[in-house]
Structure 1
Amino acid sequence: MHIRPDDVDTVSFGWGTIKWFVTPTSVEGAATTQGEVVILPGQGHERHHHPGAEELIYVVSGEAEQTVGDGAPFTIREGDAVHIPAGTFHSTFNRTWRQLRLVVTYSPGGEERALEAAPDFQRHDPGTGPQWERSGTTDTAVVT
């Protein structure tokens, strides 16, 4: 099956966007989830965990501060991979001025559905995406 970015929904949050290319609900027979995550400059996601799935992060471009479990934060950059065991708390923060692009895989798939409960979750139809604005004097992104 060939999947093009413009053929799948984009989901957005205050910190960035995700395109889930393969999920168990979108591709018949798929056991994993894989997508591209874009984290905006100065943004990131808070410490969280996926109780039922491990996560693999591959850094396509950019640089970020990563945490895994109780370990000290470390820098990830283009070409790096991070394995996060199931149930392990983790976070990713883009502390730079460039967008951070990641390929993320959940195994088994399905954990992406939990993101739909986030208060800033928005779904955008294929071929469309969010419009970003700056809010006040802060660097917080506002999706419109």
Structure 2
Amino acid sequence: MRVRPDAVETMAFDWGSIKWFVTPSVVPGAGSTLGEVIVNPGRGHERHRHPAAEEVIYVISGEGTQTVDDGEPFPIREGDAVHIPAGAFHSTFNAGWRPLRLIVTYTPGGEERALESAPDLCVYGPGAVAAWRQDR
């Protein structure tokens, strides 16, 4: 099944945006989640964890800083992949001047639903262009 970017909604936050292309709730039979995450320059998301799913991050472009569990923050850049075990606390910060573009997967899928309760969430329907929000 092919999923096009203009066929899925965009979740926008103060720190960036996400398009989930494959999720168990949208793609019949999908056991994992895959999406593109854009972290705006000078922004990042709060430290959090996914108790029941591992996460893999692949950096498409940009530069950032990644923290996994209680480890030291480390740099990430284009071509890097990061594995985050289930239950490990983690955070991502864009340390560069351009957007940090990531492919993110959750296995098993479903953890993306936790973002639906984020206080800064703004959902744009399929085909709509999300406004870039540097500051509120």
TM-score above 0.5: yes
Query: Which is richer in strand?
Result: 1
1:11-38 per-position Cα deviation (integer Å, ceiling 9, x unaligned) = 1100000000000000000000000000
Match of 2:72 in 1: 72
Match of 2:135 in 1: 141
Measure the CA separation in 2 of the matches of 1:141 and 1:112: 24
1:84-121 per-position Cα deviation (integer Å, ceiling 9, x unaligned) = 00000000000211100000000000000001111001
Residues 94 and 100 in structure 2, CA contact (< 8 A), matched pair in contact too: yes
Measure the CA separation in 2 of the matches of 1:131 and 1:77: 25
Q: How do 1:13-24 and structure 2 match up within 5 A?
A: 13-24=13-24
1:61-91 per-position Cα deviation (integer Å, ceiling 9, x unaligned) = 0010000011100000000000000000000
* Residue ranges of structure 1 left out of the alignment (5+ in a row): 134-139
Residues 57 and 105 in structure 1, CA contact (< 8 A), matched pair in contact too: yes
Match of 1:29 in 2: 29
Q: Count residues with an aligned counterpart.
A: 136
Residue type of the alignment partner of 1:73: P
Measure the CA separation in 2 of the matches of 1:116 and 1:97: 28
Residue type of the alignment partner of 2:8: V
Residues 16 and 132 in structure 2, CA contact (< 8 A), matched pair in contact too: no
Give RMSD over aligned pairs: 0.9
Measure the CA separation in 2 of the matches of 1:20 and 1:106: 11
Matched, 1:92 2:92: yes
Please state whether the residue corresponding to 1:37 is helix, strand or coil: strand
Q: CA deviation at 1:6?
A: 0.5
* Residue ranges of structure 2 left out of the alignment (5+ in a row): none
Shift >6 Å, 4+ stretches: none
Q: How do 1:108-127 and structure 2 match up within 5 A?
A: 108-127=108-127
